[in-house]
Amino acid sequence: MTAPLTRFFLVLLVVFAPPAFSQETISYHGCTDARGRAVLSVADPASPVVAGTHVEAGRRVIRYNPALMPELSQTARLFFYAHECARHNLALPLDRPLLAEEAQRADCWGLDSLLRSGLLRSAADLAALQAELRFTPEQWALLPGPPREFDLPACQARIAARPRLAAPPAGQDAWNTCVRVCGDALFACRGAGCDDEYGRCIARCGER
């Protein structure tokens, strides 16, 4: 995992503390949108969903509720937060609920962040998360995105085939500019191949 990749997409920080909302408090930081702009993350015990996006005074905010659905593992909570962050990073619509296909794209990018951060270290970890992602209609009302099927092994295979982000050249400013151009193209893109083309664009930034 290269340092630039961590900065651009998502840094997940798990902090264990004395009881606040529940047995543990999770803090998430480092989410950015497709143009590299920070997305604020706020722990909110009043949030009606595990993680959800809001626009407040013109600023994008992800509010997450660590106390909701106490049966969820910490990894599953991080997965759903990462899904919501991916919604910004992939420039998916914020003014309407996601379609199942859009939500599945965000799921794959969320999984990528967990893999890169080391929160999923083995095939057993992946299988455990896959097994947990089965929900009743009542539970789905508390989760981001529409009710859908999860296929994490297929996501992992797609992630492995994606061009990886290379280290930036000596000119950091030029690399940052290139990444922003890729983000602008993703923001304007519509279609099934947008995120793959975005990955190729980012990879080319490291070759300059």
Same domain, 147 and 169: no
Q: What angle do CA 155, 158, 164 make, to 5 degrees?
A: 120
CA distance 42 to 45: 10
Same domain, 131 and 188: no
Same domain, 25 and 74: yes
User: Could you list the pLDDT tens digit for every one of the 208 residues in the chain?
Assistant: 333 333 334 544 433 222 232 333 344 667 888 888 889 999 999 999 999 999 898 889 999 999 999 999 999 999 999 999 999 999 899 889 999 999 999 999 999 989 988 889 999 999 999 999 999 999 999 999 999 999 999 999 988 886 655 555 555 556 556 766 776 666 556 666 676 676 677 667 766 5
Same domain, 85 and 127: yes
- Alpha carbon 91 to its chain's center: 12
For residue 205, what are the domain limits?
164-208
Q: What is the pTM of this model?
A: 0.70
Same domain, 61 and 45: yes
